[in-house]
A and B are shown apart, each in its own frame.
Chain A
Amino acid sequence: MIKLLWLIPTLPFLSALILILVGSRLSWRVAARIGAGSIGLAALLTILVGYEFLSSGKDAYLHVAWNWFQAGDLSTTFAFYLDSLSMVFIFVITFVGFLIHIYSIEFMQEDEGFSRFFAYLNLFVCSMLILVLADNLVLLYLGWEGVGLCSYLLIGFWYSEEKNGYAARKAFIITRVGDTAMAIGLFMLFTVFHTLNIQDILTQAPLVWTTGASMAVLIAFLLLGGAVGKSAQLPLQTWLPDAMAGPSPVSALIHAATMVTAGVYLITRMHIVYELAPLAQLWVGIIGAVTLLIAGFSALTQFDLKRVLAYSTISQIGYMFLAMGVGAWSAAVFHFMIHAFFKALLFLAAGAVIMALHHEHDMFRMGGLKNKLPTIYWTFLIGAASLAALPFITAGFYSKDQILWLAWAGEKGNLWFFLAALTGAVVTAVYTFRMVFITFFGEAKTKISHVPGMRITIPLVILAALSLLGGFIELPHTLGHLTLFSDYLSPLLPSVTLKEGIESTEWAIQLVTAALALGGVYFAYILYVKQPKLSDEIKSSTFELHQFWFRGWDFDALYNLVFVRPFVYLSRINKNDVIDQFYTGLVQITEYFNTAFVKTQSGILRWYVMGIVVGAILIMTISLFVQP
C-alpha cells in the first residue's frame, strides 16, 4: 500500500485535469463525484498508507517518481518523502479537504462555475500535498507556488467583481514577496551544501555550521520570509483578510486549515537550521507573538463574520510561530492540526450562515440564529469554544495550553512571550464569543433563505467532533499525561527542554489560562448580550483606536504609500518610455538638419549657378592664399 504514496497527490491532479478539460460538459453530479471522490479516495489511501507506515516502524519512506532536472551540481528529483511530520499534514489535508469538498457540493451547487471550482480546489489539494511530501526544496517550492496560484484563482473565483480580482492579486503578490526571500534562501543553501535535498541539508547542517553561524542565521531569516508571506504573519499579513472574498469553503480549506500553515510546515521541516540559528528562531517567536496580538485586536473590531475569522486565523498561526520560536515543534504541529479542525469548522459554519442569509456578511445584520439553525449553532459554538480554548473539554485548550506552558517554561521561552500569549488568549475568547453572541443571540434581523442540507451539516458535525475529541491524544502532565502525538513526532522533532525546577508551576499556569478564557467569554457575554449599550459606549469613546484596529493597524495604507503607489506612479509616468525619447531626439536632430539642407534645393536654376560661382571663387581664393 505504501507504494501507492504517489497516487495521493496524483488523484487530485488527474481529477483537476479532467475537470479543466471537459468540466464544462459534465453535469454537476458527475463533476461533484469526480471532484470530491478523488479527494475521498486520496483520504482513504492516506489512511491505508498511514497505517502501513506506522506499523512498519520505519522512519521514512521515499518514492522517486522521476529525475526532474540535473545541471551542474544541482540535481533535483520529483520525489515524495513520507515521514511522521508529512504524515500529519497529508492526513489533515486529505481528510479535512474531503469534508470541505463534500460541503462545497451543496454550497456551490447553484454556481455556474461549479466544475471550475472543483478543478481549482483539486489542484490546490494536489499542490498542497506536493508541498508537504516534497523531498527537496525545489519541489517544495513548486507546491508552495502551486498553492499560491490556486489561492489566487479561488479568491478571485467570482471574477466579475473587480474587488475580488484585486484581493486575489494582492494575495498572490504579497506572498510572492515572501517567496522571493525564500528563493534567495534556497540559492544560499545550495551554495553551502551543493544540494537542495531536504534530508541531505538537515543531516549536513550540524556538521557544517556551529550554532549561531551567520550563514545559518541569514538562511533561516530568508526562509522565515517565505513562511511569513504564506502564513500571513507580520509584516506580510495584510492579504489574508482581503482573501475572504473567495467562497467560504475556500477560506476554510486554504485560508484556515492548510495553505496558510505551509509556513509552519516549512519552519518545522527545517527546524535543525533554526536550532543552529537561535537569533532567527527568537525572531520566529517574536513575529508570532506580535502577530497574534495585532491580529487579535483587529479581530475584536470587525463586523464581517469572515474577516473576524481571518484575523483569528492570523492570530492562531501566530501562536504556532510562537511555539516554534521556543522550540516547541510538536506543540506547533499539534496546534496546526487542531486549528485545522476547528477553524475549518468555523469557516464552514460561517459559510452556511452567510448562505442562509442571502450572502450577508455583516454580523450586525444577523442575530437570533440560535433557534433557526440549531445544527449550525451548536457546531459553530463547539468550534468557537475550541478557538477560545475553553478548558478541559475542547481540543483547542489542550493545544494552546501546551504552547502557553512552553512559552513560559521552555528553555527558550520568556516572560514576554508568555504574557503575549496570555493576552492573546483573553482577546481570542472575547472576539470569538462576541462573534457567537452577535450572530446567534439577540433578535433576528435577516430572513433565512436556505436551510443547509445534509452535505453541509455532516462535515460540520464530524469537524465538531474532532474539535472536541482531537485534543485528547495529547494531555498535559497535570491532566492524565498522555503524549501520543508528541511521541509520534519525537524521532523527528526534539522535545523542549524545560527550565529547571519549573514543572511545579504548570497547574497554576493552566488555572490562569482557563480562568482567563472563561473570563473573556463572560466579558463578551456582558458586552454583547447583557448590556449591549456598554459595547457601543466603549466603541464610541475609543473611536480612533477602534478604526485603527478595524483597518488592520493601517498596514495596508503604509504599504500603499511606500510600495504600491510609487511603483504605479513610476510606471504610469514612464508609460511612453523615457529612453525612447533619446532616440526620438536623435531622429529629430537628423530631421532638423534635413529640413535645413532641403532649403538649398530650391529648384531655381540661377541659385544653383550662383552656388557654383561662389564655390569656385572660394576655392580659387583659398588656393591663392594657402600655398601647398
Chain B
Amino acid sequence: MNVLPVEMGLLLAGVLFTLGLISVLIRRNIIFMLISVEIMLNAAGLAFIVAGSRWAQADGQVMFIFILTMAAAEVSVGLALILQIYHHLKTLDSDAADKMSG
C-alpha cells in the first residue's frame, strides 16, 4: 500500500485550516462561525496525526484526543453562549453582538 507522502497530509490540513479561517472571517451567522472554528481545530488535529505517523510517535494521537476533548468543551460552552445571544438579541448575526464596543 502506497504511503501517502506527509506533504499531502499537511497540505490537506493547511487547506482545511484556511477554509475554516476564511469562513470564520466572512460568515456572520454565529453558528457557522462555530462550525468553522471546529473545522480549524480538526485541521490542527489532522496535522498532529500526520506528523505523529511520520515520526511513528503516539504523541500526535494523544494531542488529537486532547483537541477532541477541548473541542467538545468548547462547543458546549459556545452553544450555550449562542443560545443566550439568540435569547437576548433574537438573531444569530455576530455583528449584532457588539455591546462591548468602546
Contact = CB atoms under 8 A, between A and B. Distances in A.
Interface of A: 598, 601-606, 609-610, 613
A604 B28 CA distance: 10
B94 A602 contact: no
A605 B34 CA distance: 12
B97 to A, nearest CB: 7
A147 B97 CA distance: 78
Nearest to B27: A606
Interface residues of B, number: 15
A185 B101 CA distance: 69
A608 to B, nearest CB: 10
Contacts of A598: 102
Contacts of B95: 604-606
Contact of B24 (A601, A602, A604, A606): A606
Interface in B31-46: 33
Given A603-B102, A605-B30, 19 more contacts: A598-B102, A601-B100, A602-B98, A602-B101, A603-B98, A604-B94, A604-B98, A605-B33, A606-B24, A606-B25, A606-B26, A606-B33, A606-B94, A606-B95, A609-B21, A609-B24, A609-B25, A610-B25, A613-B21
A334 to B, nearest CB: 87
Contacts of B90: none
Contact of A601 (B26, B33, B97, B102): B102
A71 B94 CA distance: 79
Nearest to A605: B94
B88 interface: no
B99 A603 contact: yes
The 4 closest A-B CB pairs, nearest first, are A603-B98, A603-B101, A603-B100, A605-B94
A613 B28 CA distance: 17
A118 B101 CA distance: 74
13 contacts: A601-B100, A602-B98, A603-B97, A603-B99, A604-B98, A605-B94, A606-B26, A606-B28, A606-B94, A609-B21, A609-B24, A609-B25, A613-B25
A605 B102 contact: no
Contacts of A605: 30, 33, 94-95, 97
Contacts of A609: 21, 24-25
Interface of B: 21, 24-26, 28, 30, 33, 94-95, 97-102
B35 to A, nearest CB: 14
Nearest to B30: A605
Given A606-B94, A606-B95, A601 B101 contact: yes
A596 to B, nearest CB: 12
Nearest to A613: B21
A471 B25 CA distance: 113
Contacts of A606: 24-26, 28, 33, 94-95
A534 B46 CA distance: 125
A138 B57 CA distance: 99
Contacts of A604: 94-95, 98, 101
Contacts of B24: 606, 609
A479 B24 CA distance: 124
A603 B26 CA distance: 16
Nearest to B99: A603
Nearest to A616: B21
Contacts of A613: 21, 25
A605 B100 CA distance: 10
A611 to B, nearest CB: 11
A613 B37 CA distance: 13
Listed residue (A601, A603, A610, A613) with the most chain B CB atoms within 10 angstroms of its CB: A603
A442 to B, nearest CB: 87
Contacts of B28: 606
Contacts of B102: 598, 601, 603
A598 B94 CA distance: 20
A522 B100 CA distance: 99
A609 B94 CA distance: 12
A501 B28 CA distance: 122
A603 B99 CA distance: 6
A593 to B, nearest CB: 14
Contacts of B101: 601-604
B96 to A, nearest CB: 9
A603 B102 CA distance: 8
B82 to A, nearest CB: 12
A602 B33 CA distance: 18
A602 B21 CA distance: 20
B102 to A, nearest CB: 5
Contacts of B30: 605
A609 B95 CA distance: 13
A379 B53 CA distance: 132
A151 B30 CA distance: 86
A604 B102 CA distance: 11
A601 B100 CA distance: 7
A609 B33 CA distance: 11
A606 B98 CA distance: 11
A215 to B, nearest CB: 71
B44 to A, nearest CB: 13
Listed residue (A601, A604, A610) with the most chain B CB atoms within 10 angstroms of its CB: A604
A605 B28 CA distance: 9
A337 to B, nearest CB: 84
A188 B94 CA distance: 82
Contacts of B99: 603
Contacts of B100: 601, 603
A603 B95 CA distance: 8
A606 B37 CA distance: 12
A609 B28 CA distance: 12
A616 to B, nearest CB: 10
Nearest to B37: A609
A603 B101 CA distance: 4
Contacts of A610: 25
Nearest to A609: B24
A18 B95 CA distance: 82
A601 B99 CA distance: 10
Nearest to B101: A603
A606 B101 CA distance: 13
Contacts of B98: 602-604
